[in-house]
């Protein structure tokens, strides 16, 4: 039985993760970590997540429960995730990271931690989204430079980063397949007299509205036709189940930084 700890255990994603761990016969909840100032520290994690009492109390720091888990799932904030990565690396604990908004320097720090322990890092843990990454590479390679590329994403009003990590991951998949550098060709929104579209650009449009879990569409368009690849998430459980799948896949893997493409054998 794989013992899993959840960072941010009382948030929307944290509760979904606890439910997914509870439903999988190969995993069990080992610990749940909250903000140190949370009024729910000491509460039963099973009751918090709605899965029934588990006799596991929520705590305010990872170090106090290092002996209680084999792998930590972290969907929180970059600085928190990096601190946890360093701690897991030194303690020999595995890590599954779904945190978005990491910059290049922070990704390099995660890579450094992965020299000492095995880590799965993905902007989106959904199996369907990661299949879309593969389909986007194939579509971009087949369609080539004759097709314009635009990416449209929508999330709930509480999401703090934009574009989403998934949208950026989709852009990177397309750019990589076309031999472009996303940093050089990305256009984030348009306003005013922008002139004709540069054929090499990859455009991003972002919506933040209501309780949308996550919608992503990549449009390949040329004169006469348009191809669209879309993924729509209707529940956070799709991300949670993907993260639990990553936890199970990691168990016999040596120290390195892996992606969900590795977990799903899509390379």
pLDDT band at 40; cut points 50, 70, 90: very high
pLDDT at 100 > cutoff 90: no
What pLDDT, on a 0 to 100 scale, did the predictor assign at position 110? 97
What pLDDT, on a 0 to 100 scale, did the predictor assign at position 74? 97
What pLDDT, on a 0 to 100 scale, did the predictor assign at position 7? 97
Q: Which residues contact 4 (CB under 8 A, 6 or more apart)?
A: 21, 27, 28, 29, 30, 69, 70, 71, 72, 73, 244, 247
Task: Look at phi and psi of residue 113 and say left if phi exceeds 0, alpha if psi is from -120 to 50, else beta.
Answer: alpha
Closest CA to 122 of 252, 212, 2, 243: 243
What pLDDT, on a 0 to 100 scale, did the predictor assign at position 217? 98
pLDDT at 152 > cutoff 90: yes
Q: Residue 201 and residue 266: Cα distance in Å, rounded?
A: 26
Mean pLDDT of 37-45: 94
* Superfamily the domain 2-121+236-263 falls into: NAD(P)-binding Rossmann-like Domain (3.40.50.720)
Mean pLDDT of 44-67: 93
For the chain, give the number of residues.
267
**247 against 10, higher pLDDT:** 247
pTM: 0.84
Topology of 127-233 in CATH?
Answer: Dihydrodipicolinate Reductase; domain 2 (3.30.360)
pLDDT band at 123; cut points 50, 70, 90: confident
Q: Residue 74 and residue 106: Cα distance in Å, rounded?
A: 15
Enumerate the active-site residues. 155, 159
What pLDDT, on a 0 to 100 scale, did the predictor assign at position 101? 86
Q: Residue 45 and residue 18: Cα distance in Å, rounded?
A: 8
pLDDT at 21 > cutoff 80: yes
pLDDT at 267 > cutoff 80: no
Residue ranges per domain, the chain?
2-121+236-263, 127-233
Q: pLDDT tens digits, residue range 210-260? A: 999 999 999 999 999 999 999 999 999 999 999 999 999 999 999 999 999
Q: pLDDT tens digits, residue range 158-192? A: 998 999 989 999 999 999 999 999 999 999 989 99
Strands 71-74 and 2-7: parallel
């Amino acid at each position: 039985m794989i013992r899993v700890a959840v960072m941010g255990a009382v948030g929307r994603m944290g509760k979904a993760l606890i439910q997914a761990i509870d439903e999988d016969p190969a995993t069990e909840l080992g610990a749940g970590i909250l903000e140190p100032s949370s009024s729910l520290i000491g509460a039963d994690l099973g009751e918090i997540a709605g899965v029934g009492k588990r006799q596991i109390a929520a705590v305010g720091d990872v170090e106090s429960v290092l002996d209680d888990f084999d792998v930590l799932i972290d969907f929180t904030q970059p600085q928190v995730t990096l601190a946890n990565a360093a701690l897991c690396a030194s303690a020999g604990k595995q890590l599954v990271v779904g945190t978005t908004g990491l910059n290049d320097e922070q990704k390099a720090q995660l890579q450094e931690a992965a020299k000492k322990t095995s880590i799965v890092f993905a902007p989106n843990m959904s199996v369907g989204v990661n299949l879309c990454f593969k389909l986007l590479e194939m579509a971009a390679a087949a369609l080539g430079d004759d097709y314009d590329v635009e990416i449209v994403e929508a999330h709930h009003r509480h999401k703090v980063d934009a574009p989403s990590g998934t949208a950026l991951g989709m852009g990177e998949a397309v750019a990589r397949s076309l031999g472009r550098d996303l940093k050089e060709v990305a256009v984030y929104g348009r306003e005013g007299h922008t002139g004709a579209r540069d054929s090499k650009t990859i455009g991003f449009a972002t919506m933040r509205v209501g309780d949308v879990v996550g919608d992503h569409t990549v449009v390949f368009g040329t004169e006469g036709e348009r191809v669209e690849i879309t993924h729509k998430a209707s529940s956070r459980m799709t991300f949670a189940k993907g993260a639990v799948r990553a936890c199970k896949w990691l168990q016999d893997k040596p120290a390195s930084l892996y992606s969900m493409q590795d977990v799903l054998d899509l390379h």
